[in-house]
Structure 1
Amino acid sequence: MTKAIVYTSSTCPYCTMAKDYLQEKGVDVEERNVQTDAAARSELMEKGYTGVPVIVIGDEEIVGFDKAKLEKILDK
């Protein structure tokens, strides 16, 4: 099964859309909320990102809810 880490915040509608989309595609989603989890916030900043969602699938990192890019990665 494909696994994804999704960095989110509590008030981000695109984060919810991304999680829902991935779950519909049968992806195992691990959510890391940067608003409530200081370690997740640090991880995200170390990767060089300050906004969410950031979706990590394998060695691919997708900033934002980019459905076309996600489909390309999931169809590999």
Structure 2
Amino acid sequence: MKKEVVIYTFDTCPYCIRAKRLLNNKGVDFKEIDITNERERLKELKKKTNCSTVPQVFVNNKFIGGCDDIVNLHRNGEFDTIFLK
């Protein structure tokens, strides 16, 4: 079963760029939702995730975290289990 990966981003955010690069390098198909000009959308996300920064990464509607979180998952070997298996 293919996992649905969604990432909320701002267009010039270096952390968003890094997170998308990691996802691409690992071969993860993802849907990007650019909320650069949608501050209300970020407020809605904060209510859901308790996180006020981007990127915000979800797998099958479960909040995984931001850039540092997915980089850490990659470093400790958990990335593939969450995103690919």
TM-score higher than 0.5: yes
Q: 1:20-53: per-residue Cα shift (whole Å, max 9, x none)?
A: 1112212111111221346743442232221111
Query: Is the aligned partner of 1:68 residue 2:72?
Result: yes
Cα RMSD (Å): 2.3
Moved >6 Å (runs of 4+): none
The two structures have a TM-score, normalised by structure 1, of 0.72
Structure 1 unmatched runs, 5+: none
Count how many residue pairs are aligned between Structure 1 and Structure 2. 76
Please state whether the residue corresponding to 1:75 is helix, strand or coil: helix
Alignment of 1:1-76 (within 5 A): 1-37=2-38, 40-47=41-48, 48-58=50-60, 59-66=62-69, 67-70=71-74, 71-75=77-81
Structure 2 unmatched runs, 5+: none
Please state whether the residue corresponding to 2:30 is helix, strand or coil: strand
The two structures have a TM-score, normalised by structure 2, of 0.66
Among the aligned pairs, what percent are the same residue?
28
